[in-house]
Every structure is written in structure tokens, then in C-alpha cells.
Amino acid sequence: MAPQSRPLLGELMIEHGLVTREQVEEALRRQRSSLKYIGEILIEMGAINRRDLTRMLELQHMLAKASEGDEGSSPGA
């Protein structure tokens, strides 16, 4: 299995100061007993709004694409 190239959404939100690690951990606990995405749970908790979620999902996607590009190139090729 290939290593995960997409950064974790919760980690991105923590790094950008939108949520605390405790909020992400609580959302992950709630996620275990639901079929919801972590972003939706954080919105329900009042930790973020839909605009924050959209921005972070876009950033996550951009970082994953950039990571895919880095993996395809090799130094000295």
C-alpha cells in the first residue's frame, strides 16, 4: 500500500488555528459512532463553519496534488 499523500484534514485545521487538537479528538470520537465526515461533525460542534471547511478541503486537495507531483519526479533524472 502506498503511503498517505493527502494531509489529514484535522491536522490542517489545527495548523491553521481553526480548531484545537482536543476538538479534533472529540470529533473523531463522535465519528466512530456515526457515518459523518469529520468536517461535518466539527460544523455541528460549532468549531468551524462551512466556509472554513471548504477552504481546508481545497487546501488539502492542493497539497495532495503537489505531493503527487513530487513523488513523480526524481532528483538527477
**DSSP string covering 9-50, please?**
HHHHHHHTTSS-HHHHHHHHHHHHTSS--HHHHHHHTTSS-H
Let me know if residue 24 belongs to a domain.
yes
pLDDT of residue 8: 95
pLDDT at 75: 53
* Res 70: pLDDT: 65
Query: What pLDDT is recorded for position 68?
Result: 80
Does residue 70 lie within any of the structural domains?
no
Pick out the chain residues at pLDDT < 50. Answer: 1-2, 77
3-state secondary structure of 68: helix
Q: Which pTM does this prediction carry?
A: 0.80
Domain containing residue 40: 9-64
Q: In whole angstroms, what is the distance from residue 12 CA to residue 56 CA?
A: 7
Give how many domains the chain has, as a whole number. Answer: 1
Q: Is residue 52 in a domain?
A: yes
Residue 52 pLDDT: 98
